[in-house]
Amino acid sequence: MPRSSLIDQPAMQGNGFYNKNSELQEAGIERLISLWKNLVDTINLTTRAAVIADYASSQGKNSLLPINIALNSILSRDLKPNSISVIHTDLPSNDFSSLFEMIEKNEKSYLKNHANIFPFAVGRSYFETILPLNSVDIGWNSWSLQWLSVSPGNIDDHIFIDCSKNTNLKKLFSHQLAVDWAQFLRCRSNELKCGGKLMTIFIASRNDAGGWGPFWNEFWLTLLDLRNCDLLSDIELSLISLPIGVRSLDEIEDPFRKSNIFANLKLERLDIIEAPDPFWDEYQITQDRITYGHRWANMAKAVAGPVITNVLHNSENTKCTLSDIITRFAERLSSNPFKVTHSLASVVLEKVTHTG
Ligand SMILES: C[S@@+](CC[C@H](N)C(=O)[O-])C[C@H]1O[C@@H](n2cnc3c(N)ncnc32)[C@H](O)[C@@H]1O
C-alpha cells in the first residue's frame, strides 16, 4: 500500500472539535466497557515497566475512561509496576496539541490520580508496525477501524458506500476492509507481548439492524439540496465521499475461521451489540429538535469535516463552506428527528506466541 495515501488521510476535525463532539462514541465505549474491565483484570504483567497502547486516540478525551480502568486494575495489584507508559497513536494529521493539553488539564485525566505514568504519542498510521516488537501489555482501540487505509475510489452517487448502486466499487471497499483488518491484526500482533491483550471496538453490521445508511443518506440529500441551489458543483458532489466501510460478523471472524488464531492472535471474544443513540435519547426527554439536529450534525462534522474541507479547498471557485453544509444538515435533521440504529463490534484478542 503506498505510504503517501496513509499520510494524506485527514484525521478528525481539529482545535479540539472532536473532543467536544464525540458523545456518540463515548456512549458506545461506555456500553462495552465491562468487557474491557474483564480484559485488563486478566492481564499478567511480566515486567515492572508496563505499556498501554491507545491506537487512534484522536484528541484523547474518549481514551480517559479505558485508560483509567486499566491503570486502576494494574495499580491495585500486590506486585505493581514501577512505571507505566501510555502511548497514544493516531495519524500524522491528528490534533495532538489538543490531546496533550487534555491530558494535562482534564479533571478526569489519568495524570491527576496516579504517579509514575508517562504519556507518549506516535503520529503514524497503525497499518504499519509503529511500536517496538513484543513491547505492549494492553492495547485499546475504538471507533477507528471503519476508516480505510486508502480510498478504493470516489463514490459518485452517494457519500457512503453502503448506499451506492455501484456494485464494483462496493466490492473494492469490501476487499479493502478485509485487507486492512488483516494488516491491523498483524501489526498489533508484532507489538504485543506474548500474553498481552488487545480490545478493539468498531462499527459493524447486523442483518437485523438498521445501520448507518439512513443517517448518511440524510447527509447526501443535504448535499443534493446544495447542488440544486447551485452552491455545490457536480464535481464537488462526486468527490465528497467517505473512505469508510462497515464489517459484518462474518468478515470480522474470517481471518480466525481455521483455528481461532490469526497472526499469533487468539480470538478470545467477539460481540456485536446495538449501539446507543444518545442524541435521540436526549430528544425523547427534551423534545428539543434543534439540539438533536445540532448534536448529530456536529458529530458528522467532527468525523467527516476534514474530508469535505479537503475537497472544497482543492476545488476552484467553490461557493460552499463546510459550515454551510453542516448548518443545512442540522436543519434537515431537526425537521425530522429519527433514531439512528447502529451496531458496534467488540473484539478481544490475546497474543499467544512471542514474535521471533
Ligand atoms: C472517530 S475517531 C475515534 C477516536 C477515539 N478512539 C474515540 O473512540 O473517540 C477515529 C480516529 O481514527 C484515526 N485513524 C483513522 N485511520 C487511522 C490509521 N490508519 N492509523 C491511525 N489512526 C487512524 C483518525 O485519525 C481518528 O482520530
In tens, the pLDDT along 40-51 reads 999 999 889 999
pLDDT of residue 114: 87
**Mean pLDDT of the residues in the chain:** 95
pLDDT band at residue 91 under the 50/70/90 scheme? very high
Domain that holds residue 88: 3-351
What angle do helix axes 289-313 and 322-335 make, rounded to 10 degrees? 150
pLDDT of residue 4: 40
pLDDT of residue 7: 45
Mean pLDDT of 143-167: 96
pLDDT band at residue 355 under the 50/70/90 scheme? confident
Share of the chain above pLDDT 70, in %: 97
pLDDT of residue 159: 97
Q: Would residue 356 count as lying in a domain?
A: no
Q: Is the pLDDT of residue 3 over 90?
A: no
pLDDT of residue 8: 62
| C-alpha 11: how far from chain center | 10
Atom from ligand 1 closest to the CA of residue 11: 25
Pocket test for ligand 1, best of 91, 97, 98 (most atoms within 8 A of CB): 91
pLDDT band at residue 271 under the 50/70/90 scheme? very high
Q: Regarding predicted confidence, which is higher, 331 or 46?
A: 331
pLDDT of residue 208: 66
pLDDT of residue 75: 94
pLDDT band at residue 6 under the 50/70/90 scheme? very low
Q: Would residue 162 count as lying in a domain?
A: yes
Q: Is the pLDDT of residue 350 over 80?
A: yes
Q: Would residue 245 count as lying in a domain?
A: yes
Q: Would residue 219 count as lying in a domain?
A: yes
Mean pLDDT of 268-278: 97
Q: Would residue 292 count as lying in a domain?
A: yes
List residues near ligand 1 (CB under 6 A).
6, 11-12, 22, 25, 29, 56-58, 62, 90-91, 94, 125-127, 142-144, 147, 149, 303
Pocket test for ligand 1, best of 19, 26, 36, 58 (most atoms within 8 A of CB): 58
Query: What grid cell was written down for 336?
Result: 425530522
Q: Would residue 79 count as lying in a domain?
A: yes
Q: Would residue 201 count as lying in a domain?
A: yes
pLDDT of residue 207: 77
Please count the structural domains in the chain: 1
Q: Is the pLDDT of residue 232 over 90?
A: yes
Read off the CATH number of the domain in which 104 is found: 3.40.50.150
pTM value is 0.96
Q: Would residue 342 count as lying in a domain?
A: yes
Tens digit of pLDDT for each residue in 95-133? 999 999 999 999 999 999 888 999 999 999 999 999 999
